[in-house]
């Protein structure tokens, strides 16, 4: 059973909870991010940290 949890704060895509598994991540401020946007965000964070490493 799919339960609509809310919509992604970034792309406004509906995020469902399927069999107790949330198809996205819940942020600290109770905002929801879909897996797609989570991956984009993670990639951005990774690039930032890589950029910092390159400065050394
Ligand atoms: Zn999204």
pLDDT at 56: 60
Residue 30 has pLDDT above 80, yes or no: yes
Residue 32 has pLDDT above 70, yes or no: yes
Alpha helices by DSSP H, listed for the chain, are 35-55
**How many A from CA of 51 to the centre of ligand 1?**
25
Confidence (pTM): 0.72
> Angle 5-26-39 (CA atoms, 0-180°, nearest 5)?
105
Considering its fold, how many domains does the chain have in total?
Answer: 1
| Residue ranges making up the domain that contains 9 | 2-55
Q: How far apart are CA 25 and CA 38, in angstroms?
A: 7
**How many A from CA of 25 to the centre of ligand 1?**
10
pLDDT band for position 50 (50/70/90)? Answer: confident
**How many A from CA of 34 to the centre of ligand 1?**
4
Share above pLDDT 70 across residues of the chain, in percent, rounded to a whole number? 93
**How many A from CA of 28 to the centre of ligand 1?**
16
């Amino acid at each position: 059973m799919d339960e609509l949890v809310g919509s992604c704060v970034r792309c406004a895509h509906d995020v469902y909870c399927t069999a107790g598994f949330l198809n996205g991540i819940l942020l600290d401020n109770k905002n929801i991010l879909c897996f797609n946007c989570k991956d984009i965000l993670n990639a951005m964070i990774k690039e930032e940290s890589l950029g910092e490493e390159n400065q050394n």
